[in-house]
Amino acid sequence: MSKFLTIALWLLGCLSLVAQGNEIEFVEYDLNNGLHVILHQDNATPIVAVSVMYHVGSKNEKPNRTGFAHFFEHLLFEGSENIERGEFFKYITDAGGTNNANTWYDRTYYYELLPSNQLELGLWLESERMLHAKVDQVGIETQREVVKEERRLRVDNPPYSLLRFLEQVNSRLFTEHPYQWSVIGSMDDLNAAQEEDYVQFYNDFYTPNNAVLSIAGDIDIEETKMLIDKYFKDIPIKNPDIFRPNIVEPPLTGEMVDTTYGKIQIPAIIMGYRIPAQGTKDYYAVNMLNTLMSGAESSRLNKTLRDEQQLVLQVGSFPLELEDPGVALVFALPNMGIEVEAAQAAMDAEYERVQNDLIDEREFQKLRNQIESSYITRNSRIAGIAESLANYHMYFGNTNLINTELDRFMEVTREDIQRVAKQYFNQDNRVVLNYLPEPLKP
């Protein structure tokens, strides 16, 4: 009796701990051409987010054409059979909307945020992009310059660019898997690209069976379905068999230590650890471990290294959510006069503490509270909801994870966190980069 009661109370406890956010409702279906459609209706504000996510990222590139997926994202704003060059943005701003796109290792994402009476405009633009985008030499030349400027702005110029850290770490951490090159890629590869490369890439990946159309906001579901049919139903499948690299990166054989240089004055230390793929049980534990270390002002690395020992100016850690096993970055800028080695030793000591001592109940509860709070408050805008819905379908084949993924975090135990700290955050599973001022470069 009492045993059951305990269990019941325990279950009740779990339920009350996990105060779910309000359920996000959606409908989803496939068109005959394989395009997956997800619709979320929320009529509170008269705006609509129209988005298309393509399951192609830098991971799908050929090793001698790196940066192509991202470059392509730029090119696909150039126009179509029916949209003149440069008009794509004008249609949107003149309608009172905004738009953008982004590319990552595993996917490319386009969206428009429009007044809801302009839903059809969004569908027209996205279907034009999917059906018959047009790219000419002028566009290629222009966008190549824009991408180079973007590389300077986001990778090369900022003294402590995370994209740069990632590029440097991944090129050492992976030798087989395409995660070894960065999303923005090599400018030489972009220069070398030929006309047929563009056609090939478009036909290989920009096909409805490789895309998710996700719409959220002030819509009528039935009316929206009919409009979607009108614009997307007849788009042919260009490639039934999408190339997805199936490369298993061999384990590291030991710690790698290297030095790199940048236009900086304070040196930095950057560590990359190989971690499991998103969606796995261990990934959730790794994610919570990172929050424990640097998720808030009073998290371990901030409190110990920055505030108490005053060894570092700044310290941080974050895991990348990737489809294949990927990387977590841990970095620190040591205070003036603190040797890089001393900062690294202190960081290692903090990870050893997690490996050796189980987190106490109170800190574990704090961690769960932080995870819960950030998870629940993140879906406050329809633009974010449209993207999350598409992500969950594309990566996990389970759109409803938008409502239930928190459970997976809450299943992680203190022992899981200790275990992943040992398994993944050990010295044999990492690359250590000393990032030094350029004048020291030989």
Partner 1 sequence: MNTINKYIGVLAIAFLLIQCSPKTTEVMESVEEIVDFRGSAPNPGPAPKINIGKANTFKLDNGLQVIVVENHKIPSVSFQISLKNDQINENEKVGFVSMAGDLMGRGTKSKSKAEIDEAVDYIGASLSTYGSGMFGSALTKHVPALLDVMTDVLYNPSMPAEELEKIKTQTLTGLVASVTDPNSISSNMRAKVMYGGDHPYGEIQKEENVNVIDIEACRDYVECFFIPNNAYLVIVGDVTIDDAQDMANKYFGKWERKPFKPVKHKMVPKPESTQVMFAHKDAAVQSVVNVSYPVELKPGAPDVIPARVMNTILGGGSSGRLFLNLREDKAYTYGSYSSLSSDRLAGSFNAQASVRNEVTDSSITQILYELERIRTEAVDAEFLQNTKNFMTGSFARSLESPQTIARFALSIFRNNLPEDYYETYLEKLNAVTVEDVQSMAQKYIKPESAYVFVVGSKEEVAESLLQFDSDGEIEYFDPFGDLDVADKTEIPDDLTGTQIVEDYINAMGGMDKLKGIRNVITTMSASMMGQNMTIQQSYAEGKFSMTMGNGQMTFMDQRYDGTTLQVSQMGNVETFTEGSQVDAIKEQATVSAQYDYISNGSTIELLGAETIDGMSCYKLSITKPSGNRVTEFYTVDGSLLIRTVGTAPGPAGDVAITTDLMDYKDYDGLFMPSVIKTAGMMPTPIEMKVESVEINSDIDMSMFEIK
Site for partner 1 in 34-53 (CB under 8 A): 44-47
Query: Minimum distance from CB of 252 to partner 1 (Å)?
Result: 23
Please identify, using beta-carbon distances, which residue of 64 and 157 lies nearer to partner 1.
157
Please identify, using beta-carbon distances, which residue of 157 and 404 lies nearer to partner 1.
157
- Binding region for partner 1 (CB under 8 A) out of 189-197, 256-264, 278-286, 388-396: 256-264
- Binding region for partner 1 (CB under 8 A) out of 173-181, 265-273, 350-358, 408-416: 265-273
- How far, in Å, CA of 278 to CA of 32, rounded? 29
Number of H helices, E strands in the chain: 16, 11
CA-based nearest residue to 402, from 389, 386, 393: 389
- Helices marked H in 213-324: 221-232, 281-294, 300-301
Q: Report the alpha-carbon angle 275-281-286, nearest 5.
A: 40
Ranges within 230-249 binding partner 1 (CB under 8 A): 230, 234
What does DSSP assign to residue 18? S
Tokens coding 19: 């105060």
Query: Minimum distance from CB of 334 to partner 1 (Å)?
Result: 9
Query: Minimum distance from CB of 401 to partner 1 (Å)?
Result: 18
Angle between helices 382-396 and 401-410 (to 10 degrees): 70
- How far, in Å, CA of 329 to CA of 273, rounded? 7
Q: Return the residue of 6, 64, 100, 117 that touches partner 1, per CB under 8 A.
A: 117
Please identify, using beta-carbon distances, which residue of 35 and 252 lies nearer to partner 1.
35
Query: Minimum distance from CB of 320 to partner 1 (Å)?
Result: 23
Query: Minimum distance from CB of 273 to partner 1 (Å)?
Result: 23
Residue 5 as a binder of partner 1 (CB under 8 A): the answer is no
Contact 179, 322 (CB under 8 A): yes
Binding-residue total with partner 1 (CB under 8 A)? 83
Query: Minimum distance from CB of 230 to partner 1 (Å)?
Result: 6
Please identify, using beta-carbon distances, which residue of 60 and 127 lies nearer to partner 1.
127
CA distances in angstroms from 398 to 105, 288, 406, listed in the order given:
20, 22, 14
Query: Minimum distance from CB of 86 to partner 1 (Å)?
Result: 11
- Cα torsion angle, 327, 328, 333, 337, sign: negative
Tokens coding 345: 């030793």
Residue 297 as a binder of partner 1 (CB under 8 A): the answer is yes
CA-based nearest residue to 272, from 433, 161, 434, 160: 433
Query: Minimum distance from CB of 78 to partner 1 (Å)?
Result: 17
Beta bridge partners of 315: 332
Q: Return the residue of 128, 323, 324, 387 that touches partner 1, per CB under 8 A.
A: 128
Number of Cβ within a 10 Å radius of residue 442: 4
Please identify, using beta-carbon distances, which residue of 116 and 400 lies nearer to partner 1.
116
Burial of 363 (0-12, 13-18, 19+ CB in 10 A): middle
Please identify, using beta-carbon distances, which residue of 303 and 419 lies nearer to partner 1.
303
Provide the 3-class DSSP secondary structure of residue 65: coil
Query: Minimum distance from CB of 419 to partner 1 (Å)?
Result: 24
Beta bridge partners of 114: 48
Ranges within 364-393 binding partner 1 (CB under 8 A): 365-366, 369-374, 376-377, 379-382
Residue 95 as a binder of partner 1 (CB under 8 A): the answer is yes
Ranges within 165-204 binding partner 1 (CB under 8 A): none
Residue 341 as a binder of partner 1 (CB under 8 A): the answer is yes
